[in-house]
Structure 1
Amino acid sequence: MKHFKAVLAAVFLAAFVLPMAVKAENQSFTPEQISAIYFDAARSGRSDILTELLDAGADMEARNEAGYTAFVLAAYNGHMDTVEFLSQRGADACSSDHRGNTAQMGAAFKGDDRMAARLLTTGCDVNATNASGQTALMMAALFGRSKQVDLLLAKGADRAIRDAAGNTAIGLAEQQGNTLMVARLQRREK
């Protein structure tokens, strides 16, 4: 609840005060506060606030403490309009967090098929791996995201890639006892 109130306060400040403050000579916000507002705006899908901040010189590819960019936060939280806005402004759709997780991996984790399909149009490496050697296909298989598995395979995802523990997408689905996913991956193999 405490975090929720902080986010609401930041969004309120950003929506009503920040547009004037960033243009004023004597800014009333610290760089840390502006940074927090920037990432909260991305997380909340507030393209209007992002517009003000980017027009005032905010770094499109800035990262928060976890390494997330505004693009990754908007995608992870399902804000398609904000993803489109940031794409049009030139955001790097292929960026990853400090652990190598991409927006595509986030869509697999969250189960957002619509966002996953959109992200597959960005030209990013469909076989990108995180620090654990996992791909978006592995995450989709692990969490039983059948539609995303089909989308990823259609874009050339490699089911033979092994993560740091030696698992493939099929192996992860087997560990979950997801026989339907195992059959789906094996069927697509042939």
Structure 2
Amino acid sequence: MTAQNPPQPDEPAGPAAAEDEAVLALAHALLDAARAGDGATLLGAVDRGAPVDLRDASGNSPLMLAAYHGHAELVAALAGRGADVDLLNDRGQSPLAGAAFKGYTEVAEALLEAGADPERGTPSARETAAYFDRAEITALMEAPRA
């Protein structure tokens, strides 16, 4: 392969391309683990050096996906490993707003305990909780934090 003869789509991939594919496969597996609440897989990888704030094509982090799918223990564990609890996805949504939208009180509590800001995002978690009449989550956001 030379500059005059670029690789064709049907040519076998070189070592770098194979490595890129392996990294992408791992990233997808970790994001799937977040959705499924598979802490053993996800946290094990993070503990071995995988980026805790990895993001998918829509800007969703593992913490966002765990929050949106109702996995409070995994959310707390990710936050404990340094995940950004206020990291917005590409639509400007925060993990706390996702928890408020879905009505996951335990997830909202875990996020708030980890320092999540109810005013982050568009709409904010506070606005989302009010819109969907999530009284328990609104009360959590109003409660003083230590």
Q: Normalization by structure 1: what TM-score?
A: 0.60
Cα 1:32/1:142, change in 2 over 3 Å? same
Amino acid at match of 1:49: T
Distance 2:80 2:142 in 1: 27
Mapped contact 1:126–1:155 kept (Cα < 8 A): no
Q: Deviations over 1:93-112 (max 9, x none)?
A: 12111122111100110011
Q: 2:60 aligns with which of 53, 68, 92?
A: 68
Cα 1:154/1:81, change in 2 over 3 Å? closer
Q: 1:143 aligns with which of 119, 132, 136?
A: 132
Distance 1:55 1:151 in 2: 30
- The CA deviation at 1:77 is 1.0
Q: 1:119 aligns with which of 89, 95, 111?
A: 111
1:166 aligned partner: none
- The CA deviation at 1:155 is 4.9
Cα 1:122/1:85, change in 2 over 3 Å? closer
Distance 1:105 1:138 in 2: 8
Amino acid at match of 1:148: I
What pairs with 1:28-177 in structure 2 (closer than 5 Å)? 30-130=22-122, 134-155=123-144
Distance 1:112 1:38 in 2: 22
Q: Deviations over 1:108-163 (max 9, x none)?
A: 10011121122111223221132xxx21111111111111222223359xxxxxxx
Higher relative contact order (CA 8 A, sep 6+): 2
47-56 or 138-147: bigger deviation = 47-56
Aligned-partner SS, 1:36: helix
Q: Which stretches of structure 1, 4 residues or longer, exceed 6 Å deviation after superposition?
A: none
State, as a whole percentage, how many aligned pairs show the same letter.
34
Distance 2:139 2:107 in 1: 14
Aligned-partner SS, 2:113: coil
